[in-house]
């Protein structure tokens, strides 16, 4: 049995994994339900996720529950007390030399060292809250606009822009999953905008899907991504990154990524093969950390 622990509002992320009942015994439980029923918790592998969406007090409760389960000898993945925040991860990756771009809290009142930059709100997985900003005055105006719209100043991050189109006018987001000790290549997303959130179907040429299949099959950037996961204290999640002159630059690691196995067939057959291969590898990785039911 594997239990994914998420915020109450974001249990949907692993519903497709739950539906794989013939392949793996996995369920999703909210922090609210797990903490309330901690005394009746059963032996299982627990995967703690979604830390950026927890209040500070809830995060402390989750950290203590992690330790209580570990003390019982149970397998628990992702220590809430050690996982970095989005800002902390980006700052650490920069200082370790893994990323050549930096991030700042607006509250630090510092001027970025490189331009352009954009604003993001920590604690959500929404798109950036600004366009690319080219100087301090544009940054000031964008910050004021974000705060006026109700985005808390304390949540605002300034991120130095670092991206490179894979083809003229075409951007690609790559991803690697970590499940325990295993790193898994997974499908890409393509967009004609530098903000590659969900991607757009039909805009990538066939050769990029051939390359995508190779990325899923061979996972050539595993070493660089393992270093990023380790820097963030993350043993389960999905790292999103881009390539700059062939070298990974990590944008974020999501501990509660949305897994979708019930996808409509893609018009490019190779993409369907990539998705199927990732599903197989992911379920194999779950079996490796599974705790058999009593």
**pTM of the full predicted structure?**
0.94
User: Mean pLDDT, the chain, as a whole number?
Assistant: 94
Q: Which two tokens stand for residue 239?
A: 């790292």
Q: Which two tokens stand for residue 200?
A: 């757009």
Q: Residue 215 belongs to a domain with what CATH number?
A: 3.30.470
Residue 175's contacts (CB-CB under 8 Å, 6 or more residues apart) are 185, 186, 187, 188, 189, 238, 239, 240, 241
Q: Domain span at residue 220?
A: 171-289
Percent of the chain with pLDDT over 70: 99
**Any domain includes 238:** yes
Q: Average pLDDT for residues 231-254, to the nearest whole number?
A: 96
Q: Are residues 178 and 142 in the same domain?
A: no
Q: Higher model confidence: residue 201 or residue 3?
A: 3
pLDDT at res. 132: 97
Lowest mean pLDDT among 191-200, 217-226, 235-244: 191-200
Q: Give pLDDT tens digits for 67-87.
A: 999 999 999 999 999 999 999
Rounded-to-integer distance, Cα 119 and Cα 3, Å: 34
What is the total count of domains within the chain?
3
Q: Are residues 180 and 257 in the same domain?
A: yes
pLDDT at res. 294: 53
Q: Are residues 186 and 274 in the same domain?
A: yes
With 90 as the cut, is the pLDDT of residue 292 above it? no
Alpha helices in 96-205 (DSSP H): 136-148
Q: Higher model confidence: residue 102 or residue 123?
A: 102
């Amino acid at each position: 049995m594997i239990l994914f622990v998420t915020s109450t509002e974001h249990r949907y992320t692993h519903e497709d994994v739950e539906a794989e009942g013939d392949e793996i015994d996995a369920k999703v439980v909210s922090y609210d339900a797990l903490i309330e029923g901690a005394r009746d918790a059963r032996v299982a592998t627990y995967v703690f996720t979604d830390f950026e969406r927890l209040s500070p007090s809830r995060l402390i409760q989750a950290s203590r529950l992690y330790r209580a389960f570990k003390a019982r000898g149970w397998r628990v993945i992702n220590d809430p007390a050690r996982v970095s925040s989005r800002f902390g991860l980006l700052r650490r990756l920069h200082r370790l030399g893994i990323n050549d771009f930096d991030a700042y809290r607006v509250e630090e009142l510092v001027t970025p060292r490189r331009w352009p930059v954009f604003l993001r709100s920590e604690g959500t997985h929404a798109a950036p809250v600004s366009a690319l900003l080219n100087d301090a005055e544009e940054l000031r105006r964008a910050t004021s606009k974000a705060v006026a719209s109700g985005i808390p100043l304390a949540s605002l991050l300034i991120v130095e822009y670092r991206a490179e189109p894979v083809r003229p006018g075409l951007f690609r987001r790559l991803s690697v999953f970590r499940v325990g000790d295993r790193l898994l290549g997974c499908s890409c997303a393509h967009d004609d905008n530098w903000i590659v959130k969900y991607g757009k179907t039909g805009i990538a040429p066939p050769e990029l899907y051939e390359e995508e299949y190779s990325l899923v099959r061979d996972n050539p950037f595993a070493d660089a991504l393992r270093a990023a996961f380790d820097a963030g204290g993350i043993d389960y999640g999905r790292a999103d990154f881009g390539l700059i002159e062939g070298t990974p630059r990590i944008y974020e690691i999501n501990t509660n990524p949305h897994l979708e196995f019930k996808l409509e067939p893609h018009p490019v057959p190779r993409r369907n093969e990539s998705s199927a291969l990732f599903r197989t590898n992911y379920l194999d990785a779950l079996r490796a950390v599974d705790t058999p039911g009593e």
